[in-house]
Amino acid sequence: MKPLSALLLTCSQLVAQEAAAQARTPLQARCEDTLERAVSVVVSRQQGYRIDHTRSYHDLTRMKGGARANAYVLGLTHTESRVGIKVGGRMLSDPASGYECIAARVEVSLTYLPIVVYIGREFPPGSCAYQEVLAHEMRHLNTYLDYLPKAEARVRAALAQRFEAKPLYARLGQAQSLLQRELDSGWMAYIKSEMARVESLQAAIDSPQEYARLGKVCAGEVQSLIKQARRSKTQ
């Protein structure tokens, strides 16, 4: 089976295939002169954040999963990414040549669900321990917020390179379905992988050194509050 990129042809590829490098084919002339340019639009959107104090550090440790042995999750920043792709565009066909063209319009939306910053309820708002845990979680929050426009820029550049602002060509009756397949399989997987790259940045924030530091801040207040919570739970 030929790759989809070989079936959806750019103008230059079509010319080479038909050995007409010095002149446009009639279909090319019609498509390039009468159709609007192919367009790719990428939009990213933040949906804000909120701070939640209702969960215990036990809850947060379970929610995070994969915590290091004997390590407690004091705070947690959680969101989920969403990727949407819409495709449309005008088409022209040329029965004589057996080809058709489409001026694709591809719209991509990148979104984070509202971000929730959890702070363990063992840490009273305003306390030194609370402020330290909050400052740590703000690093996670800002990493999400800073990353989204960077992902948007990379996806936009990749789409612009692929579609070249020109019509795409395929055999009669195949352009729309091939374009949709390319977006659903190749492009969706690529965009989701771009969005997921932020998680490696998040993991770097939760280093062993950072966990150790948080356990010692505020003259041991964090450890003291954890011990109090553990005693209360066993009584």
Q: What is the pLDDT of residues 135-166, one digit of tens each?
A: 999 999 999 999 999 999 999 999 998 887 78
Full-prediction pTM beyond 0.85? no
Q: How far is Cα 77 from Cα 1, in angstroms, rounded to an integer?
A: 44
Q: How far is Cα 98 from Cα 118, in angstroms, rounded to an integer?
A: 59
Q: Is the dihedral of CA 160, 165, 170, 176 positive or negative?
A: positive
Contact between 49 and 116 (Cβ < 8 Å): yes
Q: Domain ranges in the chain?
A: 4-234
Q: How far is Cα 178 from Cα 204, in angstroms, rounded to an integer?
A: 40
Mean pLDDT by 10 residues, the chain (235 residues): 56 61 78 86 93 93 73 90 92 92 93 96 92 96 96 94 85 92 92 96 92 86 76 59
Q: How far is Cα 67 from Cα 73, in angstroms, rounded to an integer?
A: 8
SS3 of residue 107 by DSSP: strand
Q: How far is Cα 41 from Cα 155, in angstroms, rounded to an integer?
A: 10
